[in-house]
Structure 1
Amino acid sequence: MSNIQDQIEQERELARRACETTGDNSAECAAAWDAVEELQAEASHKRQVKPKNSLEMYCDENPDAAECRVYDE
């Protein structure tokens, strides 16, 4: 997770520089902040990943168990 946080910080710095250079209302500034928002959304999504329940953990450890069989229709 820290890797994506590092990327967010780098993109923030790039966005600040782009806005200082081209102006706050420029397309470059807006695009740079869009990149920051996309990374933040990805980080948020990764935090919301549902933890596995006990059956899923059991099946990870015992994929051949009867309870873990998956049948194609």
Structure 2
Amino acid sequence: MSNIDDQIQQERENAKNVCSTDGSDSGNCAAAWDAVEELQAEASHQRQKQTPKSNFEQYCDDNPDAVECRVYDD
């Protein structure tokens, strides 16, 4: 996980440099910050994958028709 955190930090520094050079309203500045946001989203997805399921979630995965696991749409 630290690898992606390092990449995020590098992209932040790059975005700051690009924005200070090209201006905060330039397309290059927006693209640089988009790259930061994409990496942050990927890091978030990786963290979610690492979170173990609770016993209840595992039970519902094994028994999707159980009363306790039913999901009703409004």
TM over 0.5: yes
The structure that has the greater radius of gyration is 1
Separation in 1, partners of 2:54, 2:18: 45
Q: What code does the residue aligned with 2:14 have?
A: L
Identity percentage over the alignment?
69
- Count of matched residue positions in the alignment of Structure 1 and Structure 2: 54
TM-score with structure 2 length normalisation? 0.68
TM-score with structure 1 length normalisation? 0.69
Structure 1 match to 2:28: 28
Once superposed, which parts of structure 1, at least 4 consecutive aligned residues long, lie more than 3 Å away?
none
Cα deviation 1:1-58 (Å, max 9, x = unaligned): 000000000000000000000000000000000000000000000000142689xxxx
Structure 1 gap ranges (5+): 55-73
Structure 2 gap ranges (5+): 56-74
Aligned to 2:11, the other structure's residue is in SS state helix
Q: What is the RMSD computed on CA atoms of the aligned residues?
A: 1.6
Structure 1 match to 2:69: none
